[in-house]
Amino acid sequence: MSRDPQRHPAELSREELVRYGRHLILPEMGIEGQRRLKASSALVVGAGGLGSPLALYLAAAGVGRLGIVDFDYVDESNLQRQILHGSARVGTSKVESARERLADLNPHIAIEPHDARLTRDNALAILSGYDVVVDGTDNFATRYLVNDACVLLGKTNVHGSIFRFEGQVSVFDAARGPCYRCLYPEPPPAGLVPSCAEGGVLGVLPGVIGALQGVETLKVLLGIGEPLIGRLLLFDALSLSFRELELRKDPECPLCGAHPTIRELVDYEALCGFEPDAELAGGDEIDARELGALRQKDPDLQLIDVRTAHEWAIARIEGSRLIPLGTLPERMDELDPSRPVVLLCHRGIRSARALEFLRSAGFTRLRHLRGGIEAWSRDVDPQVPRY
């Protein structure tokens, strides 16, 4: 069980007073703050690109107990960005490589390696032992798993993700703000979003994003400053710019909303592997450019957005109408079945479901936007924000 850092402040040795001197002279921190860090614990999920700066800085800062979960081995192709590991460790397990490096960096803390793949069977047991969870994973299945486990356990989840030249950071704490599912109710279709292995990543990018996660983790553990709760920070390395989006808790969130339907961990491989039926993938889809052209010449077109009101507030296509998927059964009589309908959502999953539903209700002139509003922003109107 996690200890309450406030009730059991740890004593600092002479060596620690010397080591943490630059912390101790910060009025916001002082000896009390440093003792609080020593009595606290954090779990870093993934000892890769994000996990590298995270684990190094959290260890160096004196977080008393640092857990690292990873099942992988150090590969030569990791070293372009995973600065926690070195050439001499190629072929050894990442958590073992991490343990050695971190123990050398700071012998005053406990490193707890979890040499395992995080799954629905072990996630609750592993995460429950730490005060805060830091998500440094590189895939959607684990990201949803970490989010769900954190909400079910009431833990704060310091989120970060990267792709090519862009990254994002937020702090999800369902008691005080939204969770990852409030922001992304559905994973992208399998194969649509390439991994860093397929799409590439600038080596220093996880350094920037992982360091920001480290900042947020220390703030959460110390209870100082304003954490990124309810805010999504977006970083673009090419333009060297930061953008911030306000995130609201989705009252309809199936996990942290008023009437949750997810009460235990689910099958994340299946969740993220979902692909629309083969028959749907063909003639029922319209791509973004095709839709752009069609809107010019067909004034009868009904463009229906089936996302949530929360997502609609972030980004919308001018002239579209919002009918969230959950309300479609009671509101479908607002649609004219004699006129063509194009359905859209974030990435094309919910719109496929909406299409199936309307078809079963007798609608025939139906299509849905392949890749959703994400594709529209990418291919037609870059002014529409992506999230």
Q: What gap in Å lies between CA 212 and CA 297, rounded to an integer?
A: 47
The residue among 56 and 255 lying less far from Zn ion, judged by its C-beta, is 255
The residue among 133 and 256 lying less far from Zn ion, judged by its C-beta, is 256
Count residues near Zn ion (CB under 5 A).
Answer: 6
Q: Which of 228, 256, 328, 366 binds Zn ion (CB under 5 A)?
A: 256
Kindly state whether residue 126 participates in binding Zn ion, applying the rule CB under 5 A: no
Contact 235, 208 (CB under 8 A): yes
Query: How long a stretch of residues is the chain?
Result: 387
The residue among 29 and 152 lying less far from Zn ion, judged by its C-beta, is 152
Structure tokens at 375: 């594709």
Q: What gap in Å lies between CA 93 and CA 103, rounded to an integer?
A: 16
Kindly state whether residue 150 participates in binding Zn ion, applying the rule CB under 5 A: no
Stretch that binds Zn ion, among 1-9, 69-77, 179-187, 378-386 (CB under 5 A): 179-187
Q: How many helices (H) does the chain have, and how many strands (E)?
A: 17, 13
Q: Helices 205-222 and 30-38: crossing angle, nearest 10°? A: 110
163 burial (CB, 10 Å; 0-12 / 13-18 / 19+) is middle
Q: Which of 23, 38, 181, 368 binds Zn ion (CB under 5 A)?
A: 181
Rounded to the nearest whole angstrom, what is the least distance from the CB of residue 255 to Zn ion in the complex? 5
Q: What gap in Å lies between CA 178 and CA 231, rounded to an integer?
A: 9
Rounded to the nearest whole angstrom, what is the least distance from the CB of residue 141 to Zn ion in the complex? 18
Stretch that binds Zn ion, among 101-109, 247-255, 326-334, 351-359 (CB under 5 A): 247-255
Contact letters for Zn ion, residues 194-223 (x by CB under 5 A): ------------------------------
Q: What stretches of the chain show up as alpha helix (H) in DSSP?
A: 14-19, 21-24, 30-38, 51-61, 94-105, 123-127, 140-153, 180-183, 196-199, 205-222, 268-273, 278-281, 288-297, 309-314, 328-331, 350-360, 372-379
Residues assigned a catalytic role: 196, 345
Rounded to the nearest whole angstrom, what is the least distance from the CB of residue 249 to Zn ion in the complex? 6
Rounded to the nearest whole angstrom, what is the least distance from the CB of residue 350 to Zn ion in the complex? 16
Stretch that binds Zn ion, among 61-69, 113-121, 249-257, 317-325 (CB under 5 A): 249-257
Chain positions contacting Zn ion, by CB under 5 A: 179, 181-182, 253, 255-256
